[in-house]
Amino acid sequence: MTDLVAAMGPAFLGTRLKRLGERMQAGAAEVIAEAGLPIVPAQVSVLAALRSGPQTIGQIAESIKASQPGVTRIVGQLKELGLVESASNADQRKNVAALTPSGNAAVAVLAKDIWPRVGMAAQELFAGLQGDFLHQIAEIEQALSETPLSLRAKAAILGGLTLREWEPALARYFRDINAEWIEAMFELEEADRVVLNNPQEKIVNPGGTILFVEAPGLGIVGACALKPDGSGAFELTKMGVREAARGLKAGEFLLEKVIERAGQMGIEELYLLTSKKCEAAIHLYEKLGFVHDAGIMEAHGAEYCRCDVAMRYIAG
């Protein structure tokens, strides 16, 4: 049968490495059992950490790069086996774990017999590989410490964000995406309904445009419009990103493209209306060149009940 985990390639790397680790530990467990030790491979790293002397749970966790709850559980198991005991450190203020005489004897067997044999067996596995496998593992661990896999996955999607132009078939995305965030934070007003239900008539036909952002695997996740107000100025309006796409920087991608399009259209005055409740959006607007403007507020702020922030774009 096909090995599904192997066939899925890098996407299943964590599962495959876990499987490999389990097979390696199962073999090591047999070697440990043959030596007559009452321990399992998962406990060995804690014993190794205590070779240098008594340590707190936090010190052990840092030493073996494991979670404190996990280390606490293993220390408890080793205490039940009589290999580890509680003690106090030099200043008597912190409880530490320390090896018992039986623990020291077990570690001596590990160091003299188990680790060399298991190490040589593992080295034999590496012999036919290109490059230093352990060094490669260390590099992967360091890379994950600097940027976790979850952020790398988001960055991969970010690199695949694409811009979609307005077409009537996308009207429902414009309506639904904006209704989602407005209803989550405020209430849909009549001014919202008029625009969301008639984007072609209210935005596109008078000379404006609507742009969308699409993410791989998620489809259309964001929308934003450039709406002429009849005076020669344009309002950047109805910008929203689906909750499922938060964290992908789809909003920043879209806003950059909309500002770029405004420049291509020769728009000389671009403004927006929003609410203080939209803190993240306001921060993004400020980052990309919008400034708070009392004149815009006075001229257009009454268009929405929720509006208490008005901003004007200043080209950098």
In the chain, the number of structural domains is 2
Q: Are residues 261 and 129 in the same domain?
A: no
Per the structure, the complete domain to which residue 78 belongs is given by: 4-146
* Long-range contacts, stretch 11-14, CB < 8 angstroms, 24+ apart: 14/149
Q: Are residues 166 and 142 in the same domain?
A: no
- Which residue type does 122 have? A
Q: Confirm whether 237 is domain-assigned.
A: yes
Residues paired with residue 234 on neighbouring β-strands, in sequence order:
228, 270
pLDDT of residue 90: 60
**CATH number of domain containing 101:** 1.10.10.10
Q: Are residues 55 and 124 in the same domain?
A: yes
In 3-state terms, what secondary structure has residue 313?
strand
Q: Are residues 173 and 308 in the same domain?
A: yes
Residue 243 exposed, middle or buried by CB count within 10 Å (0-12, 13-18, 19+): exposed
Of the three residues 101, 125, 146, the one that is the final residue of a domain is 146
pLDDT of residue 155: 58
pLDDT of residue 183: 94
Per-residue pLDDT of the chain (316 residues; tens, 9 = 90+): 778 888 888 888 899 999 999 999 999 999 999 999 999 999 999 999 999 999 999 999 999 999 999 999 999 999 999 999 998 766 556 789 999 999 999 999 999 999 998 998 888 888 888 888 888 888 888 888 876 776 666 656 556 889 999 999 999 999 999 999 999 999 999 999 999 999 999 999 999 999 999 987 778 999 999 999 999 999 999 999 998 777 788 999 999 999 999 999 999 999 999 999 999 999 999 999 999 999 999 999 999 999 999 999 998 6
Q: Are residues 223 and 260 in the same domain?
A: yes
For residue 65 the two structure tokens come to 């790069």
CA distance 225 to 235: 8
User: What is the value of pTM for the model shown?
Assistant: 0.55
Tell me how far apart the 2 most distant CA atoms of the chain are, in Å: 88
Q: Confirm whether 199 is domain-assigned.
A: yes
Question: Distance of CA 114 to CAs 19, 38, 43, 48, Å?
Answer: 22, 13, 14, 12
- The DSSP element (H or E) to which 264 belongs, if any, is helix 250-264
pLDDT of residue 284: 95
Residue 62, number of CB atoms within 10 A of its CB: 14
Q: Are residues 17 and 142 in the same domain?
A: yes
pLDDT of residue 127: 85
